[in-house]
Amino acid sequence: MIEGILQYEFLQNAFFTGMIIGIVAPLIGVFIVVRRLSLIADALSHVTLAGIAFSLFLEKKFMPTSGLNPMYMGMAFSVAGSLFIEKLRSVYKHYQELAIPIILSSGIGIGVIFISLADGFNTDLFSYLFGSVSAVSRLDLWTILAISIIVIVLIVLLYKELFLLSFDEEHAKASGIATKSIHFIFIVMVALVIAGSMRIVGILLVSSLMTLPVAASIRIAKGFKQTILYSVLFGEASVLGGLILSYYMDLAPGGTIVMLAVVILAGTILFKKLSMRSY
Amino acid sequence: MKETKKPIIEIDHITYRYEKENVLEDIHLTVHEGDFVGIVGPNGSGKSTLMKLILGLLKIQKGSIRLFGEEAGKFKKWHKIGFVSQKANSFNTGFPATVYEVVASGLTKKLGLFKFMKKEHQEKVLQAIDSVGLLSFRNRNIGELSGGQQQRVFIARAIVSDPKLLILDEPTVGVDAQNVQSFYDMLNDLNKKWGITLLLVTHDIGTISDKVTHVACLNKHLHFHGVTSEFEQLKMNEMSEFYGHDIHILQHNHDHVHHGGAVQ
């Protein structure tokens, strides 16, 4: 595989993109999971699909040679979707989780309409749904790198505030933290990371990269920083392991990555059980 | 109450309504530096609403609140005020954070945006954990602690930023009975040794009456406020009988006539 990476640009793109999202998706995933917002990642990934379908439709019908990168439209939709979720959460104060199915089904609805308008499925769309190694371009790599640097810097700078907001929102408000602004920045970061990560693992599996490593980490970590550390390690191991396995065994990379994350999760649950018994 | 002490909270003519019903009516209350004030009231008496108004979590509809001499709406020095709520309300016991991390989060506002903890802050955190008697638990996940210990963690989080005033909203809900007494002993220490002004809201006057310096009773109106000494004595006897303790009644120097039947 190393020869392959040295030789082929598309493998380099996929490999480096994978390394980056293996860090950034679980990193932001920790905050998503502890705030019990796991399903938001799912809703936003389906909104991203709508954006990609819209972009493919535009390209097909109006500007066939423009070379518009569908990821950008996916990001725009994802960010817009995150803002709608926030709006809906304040409309349905007592049924905040309702925002998620509303946005999720709207995302699929719009997506399906644009897919049919663009004359149905093609390999391009397929690669967005399930992820693809060969489809990652150099431009995708740079975009994802830029997003990830921004997200990591923001999380480091706002770590205290994000921690307090996640742990105890009421207390954060009472101590005069600008919770609304922090939450807004957070949800936009989530939307961007989702749109970036879907290139490798695909829209249908992107949320798993944000939640499975965290679910594994929470079982065994002591404290929040350790939870972040383990989540990133597990995420990175799943992505790199999955890419290598899928390369040699000729499997779908997205599915292999996610199944590796599931194996790690099962391993930590088992480990925790055994170590509890030995007390 | 000595007149020379600085007023920390001044609540004046506060009325608050949810939809059509008044929850609080014409509340007056002044808390001075060094006081340990207990506000007692049954469920639904507006205790939590009053807390939220003081903390700026609800907008003031009518009347005014001054904190450390400043209008509450313009008040910015929130690090001077520590807040401990009912644990059950706002806390996910499965949260993967150590005692140290939770207490350190109490410095968030004081440090300010984009600032990181320095050595002195880390020492401060350890000191706060020590003062609630949990130093040996500092690296445990908070979910592994008992209800009483968790509530101590929240006290430590509240005092780590050196607040002058600590507001506690039903802090002993979910704390087992045998630990409640030692919890209040710790509060007493904070008040006496650290000189922190305490405002404690509870429905459980039995355990606090020998600790607090003043008691006010809330049930939409704040009772025993601005009362004549005769009325005060009468009410005090009633209260004492009811609760089986000697109780000091909150006194104020306003000239209002209040609900509760007192005419001056």
pLDDT higher than threshold 70 for residue A171: yes
User: Does the residue B53 lie in any domain?
Assistant: yes
Indicate the DSSP class of residue A64: T
SS3 A104: helix
Provide the token pair at B87: 């644990």
User: Does the residue B42 lie in any domain?
Assistant: yes
User: Does the residue B183 lie in any domain?
Assistant: yes
> According to the model, what pLDDT value does residue A118 have?
82
Sign of the Cα pseudo-torsion (B254, B256, B261, B264, in order): positive
Instruction: Assign residue B14 the CATH number of its domain.
Output: 3.40.50.300
The whole-angstrom separation of Cα B254 and Cα B264 is 10
Region label for B34, one of left (φ > 0), alpha (ψ between -120 and 50) or beta (otherwise) = left
Nearest CA in chain B to A221: B96
SS3 B90: coil
User: Does the residue B79 lie in any domain?
Assistant: yes
SS3 B183: helix
A167 neighbourhood in chain B, CB within 8 Å: 91-92, 95, 97, 102, 105
pLDDT digits (tens, 9 = 90+) for A98-122: 888 999 999 999 999 998 888 776 7
For A209, other C-beta atoms within 10 Å of its C-beta total 31
Percent of chain A residues past pLDDT 90, beyond the cut: 53
Q: Does B102 touch chain A (CB under 8 A)?
A: yes
CB contact (8 A) between residue A171 and residue B114: no
pTM assigned to the model: 0.82
User: Does the residue B126 lie in any domain?
Assistant: no
pLDDT digits (tens, 9 = 90+) for A257-268: 999 999 999 999
The whole-angstrom separation of Cα A96 and Cα A90 is 7
Domain count, chain B: 1
User: Does the residue B83 lie in any domain?
Assistant: yes
CB contact (8 A) between residue B113 and residue A168: no
CB contact (8 A) between residue A169 and residue B114: no
CB contact (8 A) between residue B95 and residue A36: no
- Alpha-helix runs per DSSP H in A92-178: 99-117, 123-130, 138-157, 159-167, 169-174
Tell me the residue type at B128.
Answer: A
Judge residue B188's burial from the number of C-beta atoms within 10 Å of its C-beta, 0-12 exposed, 13-18 middle, 19 or more buried. Answer: middle
**Of B126, B114, B107, B79, which Cα lies nearest the Cα of A159?**
B114
A224 neighbourhood in chain B, CB within 8 Å: 95-98, 101
User: Does the residue B50 lie in any domain?
Assistant: yes
Q: Does B1 touch chain A (CB under 8 A)?
A: no
pLDDT under 50: residue ranges of chain B = 1-2, 225-232, 234, 241-247, 251-264
Q: Does B151 touch chain A (CB under 8 A)?
A: no
Q: Does B141 touch chain A (CB under 8 A)?
A: yes
Distance of CA B148 to the CA centre of its chain: 17
User: Does the residue B172 lie in any domain?
Assistant: yes
Domains of chain A: 2-272 (1.10.3470.10)
pLDDT higher than threshold 90 for residue A165: yes
Residue B81 domain boundaries: 7-91+163-243
The whole-angstrom separation of Cα B125 and Cα B161 is 9
For A137, other C-beta atoms within 10 Å of its C-beta total 16
Interface test with A, best of B79, B109, B137, B157 (most A CBs within 10 A): B109
B111 neighbourhood in chain A, CB within 8 Å: 160
The whole-angstrom separation of Cα A73 and Cα A58 is 10
Least confident of A185-189, A244-248, A266-270, B175-179: B175-179
> According to the model, what pLDDT value does residue A54 have?
92
